[in-house]
Amino acid sequence: MSICDIIIKKRDGGELSQGEIEHFIGGYVAGEVPDYQAAAWLMAVYFRGMTPAETMRLTEAMAFSGETLDLHDVAPFILDKHSSGGVGDKTTLVIGPVVAGLGVPVGKMSGRGLSFSGGTLDKLESIPGLNVMLKIEQFKKQLREVGLVIAGQTQELAPADGKLYALRDVTGTVPSLPLIASSIMSKKIAAGADAIVLDVKVGEGAFMHTDAEAIELAELMVKIGRGLGRRMAALIGDMNQPLGLAVGNALEVSEAIETLHGRGPDDFRQHCVDVAGEMLLIAGAAESPAAGRAKAAGTLVDGSAWAKFRQFVGAQGGDVAFVDDPRKLPQAPVVRPLAAPRAGYVAGLDAGEVGRTVVDLGGGREKKGDPVDPAVGVMLAPEGKVGGHVAAGQTLLWVHARTDGVAQAALARLAAAYRVEDEPVAAPPLIHHIIR
């Protein structure tokens, strides 16, 4: 079976068999298929798509490309969540501790930044010493002792997705429904979760731009998960503007810490409570969605989520002093404000452009293997969100950069990403749909 023939078949719109997909994925993991052929195959999938059956085959091939976790010797029921990506989406840093703080174990395999979308692992690595590359036994030990573990793919767990994930990021093939669905679900299946809640983002700062696309992706992933014996639910969350105020790795960690202390931006805190409530519901730890949300919100008040976060950071080797005092986290030497051009109401803020600007500041990757600067990013003013009212010259946001020249270029881009109008504008809904 020729790899080139498999690429050609998909290029020409054919449906790949289970054997063809397994041969391609197995060869890529073994190093027998070079990156240039994998990139060609990804581009063929991007343009030609995949049938639901193909996507299921691809998910299984990637999930079982290495070892898989059976976590039932650790806990009888393991819960996981995943976001399809967004700008300012640091939800795992809050939701994981919230749910684990209520006694429901959360074992999560996360990823790095993709295109303009930040990655949980990159954010966590802003904390000195924190190790996200755990061996299977380390993963299980921490889940048993702490109840919360967040780790990346290794050569042991879903190695095919680890390699393809990095390649998609730098080949323009990120926003493909079957590639997104198989990437997310292969990690979930490999990590051994019994139930999975999906946080699918929609809007200008997401890979799905319309509700119809987001619902299609969510329903596909729910179908894959149920077909493999998992309990599934999905929320469609808004990403037409950044979630919260912080965009950039260390800035987002600081905002997550604020939220775990019961503070933080209202929209971010509420989104975390909504997703955590669904996780508690699907785990049987809450009798209704409202009860789940109430329990989740309570952990941000009584300190149990914060205590679990500190325990998690320490268990994975992170220096807890840096989360106890977030001012110690990496900080950019240059901080410059963006002033509102006129008085009015913020009617639009292109989240995708904010994300791309942060990548150009050094907060993301232009090519595979690039280092990420944890200190750079963008911090919005509360009035700089959609629906806010600003006076002429009032600060909309601050750019955190390495040099003044880079900061000025970012400010020019971000000014063009804003739309200010005379009439009041309502903030968009946080959650568009829920699929249970």
Find the catalytic residue in 10, 23, 112, 168. 168
Runs of H (alpha helix) within 49-176: 52-63, 92-100, 120-124, 136-145, 159-169
Cβ neighbours, 10 Å, residue 73: 8
Q: Is 419 a catalytic residue?
A: no
Question: How many angstroms from the chain centroid is the CA of residue 183?
Answer: 12
Closest CA to 21 of 52, 51, 62, 78: 62
Find the catalytic residue in 80, 89, 122, 161. 161
> What distances in angstroms separate CA 256 from CA 40, 122, 124, 177, 373, one per listed residue?
38, 14, 11, 29, 18
- Residues 241-252, buried b or exposed e (16+ Cβ, 10 A)? bbbbbbbbbbbb
CA atoms within 13 A on the CB side of 167: 21
Find the catalytic residue in 10, 187, 201, 230. 187
- Residues 379-390, buried b or exposed e (16+ Cβ, 10 A)? bbbebbbbebeb
Q: Is 187 a catalytic residue?
A: yes
Question: Which residues, in sequence order, are CB contacts of 165 under 8 Å at separation 6+?
Answer: 111, 112, 114, 153, 183
Note whether 245 and 379 are within 8 A (CB).
yes
Q: Is 389 a catalytic residue?
A: no
Q: Is 183 a catalytic residue?
A: yes
Find the catalytic residue in 10, 57, 82, 295. 82
Q: Is 328 a catalytic residue?
A: no
Which is it for the CA torsion 212, 218, 220, 222, positive or negative?
negative
DSSP, res 114: B
Find the catalytic residue in 176, 182, 183, 186. 183
- The catalytic residue positions are 82, 161, 168, 183, 187
